[in-house]
Structure 1
Amino acid sequence: MANVLLVDDDVDLGKLISEYLTEEGFNVFHQVNGRDVLAFVAEHRIDVIILDIMLPGMNGIEILRRIRRVDNIPVLMMTARGDEVDRIAGLDLGADDYLAKPCSPGELAARLRAILRRAASSRAGSADTIEVGDLSIDPRGRKALWKGTMLALTGAEFNLMEALASRPGQIVSRGELCELGLGRPLTRFERTIDVHMSSIRQKMGLLADGRSPIVNVRGQGYQLVTG
Structure 2
Amino acid sequence: MCSYVLVAEDDLKQAELVQRYLRREGHSVHVVHDGRSAIDEVRCRRPDLLILDVMMPVVDGLDVCRVLRRESDIPVLIVTARSTGEDKLIGFDLGADDYLTKPYDPRELMARVRSLLRRAQPAKEPAALPIRVGDLVLDPLRHEVRAGDRRVDCTPVEFRILATLASSPERVFSRAQLLEQTYGVDGFITERTVDVHVMNLRKKIEANPRKPTCLLTVYGVGYKMTDGR
C-alpha displacement of 1:154 = 0.8
Q: The residue matched to 1:103 in structure 2 has which SS?
A: coil
C-alpha displacement of 1:189 = 5.5
Deviations 1:6-49 (A, max 9, x none): 11111111111111112123222111111211111121131111
Structure 2 distance, partners of 1:183, 1:5, is 23
CA contact (8 A) 2:38 2:64 kept: yes
Q: Give the 5 Å matches for 1:3-18.
A: 3-18=4-19
Deviations 1:156-189 (A, max 9, x none): 1111111111221111111121121123457685
Structure 1 runs not aligned, ≥5 long: none
TM-score scaled by length of structure 1: 0.90
Q: The residue matched to 2:168 in structure 1 has which SS?
A: coil
Greater alpha carbon shift after TM alignment, 21-30 vs 7-16 = 21-30
CA contact (8 A) 2:216 2:224 kept: yes
Q: The residue matched to 2:70 in structure 1 has which SS?
A: helix
Structure 1 distance, partners of 2:122, 2:102, is 29
C-alpha displacement of 1:62 = 0.8
CA contact (8 A) 2:77 2:100 kept: yes
Deviations 1:68-100 (A, max 9, x none): 222221111112252323221111111112111
C-alpha displacement of 1:198 = 0.5
Structure 2 distance, partners of 1:123, 1:192, is 27
Equivalenced residue count is 225
CA contact (8 A) 2:4 2:29 kept: yes
C-alpha displacement of 1:200 = 0.4
1:151 equivalent in structure 2: 152
2:173 equivalent in structure 1: 172
Deviations 1:54-78 (A, max 9, x none): 1111111111111122222111111
Q: Give the 5 Å matches for 1:132-211.
A: 132-184=133-185, 190-206=191-207, 211=212
Structure 2 distance, partners of 1:78, 1:198, is 23
C-alpha displacement of 1:122 = 4.3
Structure 2 distance, partners of 1:99, 1:47, is 18
C-alpha displacement of 1:196 = 0.9
CA contact (8 A) 1:96 1:182 kept: no
CA contact (8 A) 2:176 2:191 kept: no
2:84 equivalent in structure 1: 83
C-alpha displacement of 1:193 = 1.2
Deviations 1:117-162 (A, max 9, x none): 2232447564211122211111121111111211111111111111
C-alpha displacement of 1:5 = 0.8
CA contact (8 A) 2:98 2:189 kept: no
Closer, same or farther: CA 131–29 of 1 in aligned 2, 3 Å: same
CA contact (8 A) 1:4 1:48 kept: yes
Q: Give the 5 Å matches for 1:117-128.
A: 117-122=118-123, 124=125, 126-128=127-129
Structure 2 distance, partners of 1:143, 1:77, is 25
Identity of aligned residues (%): 38
Structure 1 distance, partners of 2:123, 2:146, is 16
1:53 equivalent in structure 2: 54
CA contact (8 A) 1:130 1:137 kept: yes
Structure 2 distance, partners of 1:187, 1:217, is 24
Q: Give the 5 Å matches for 1:13-24.
A: 13-24=14-25
CA contact (8 A) 2:202 2:212 kept: no
CA contact (8 A) 1:172 1:220 kept: yes
TM-score scaled by length of structure 2: 0.89
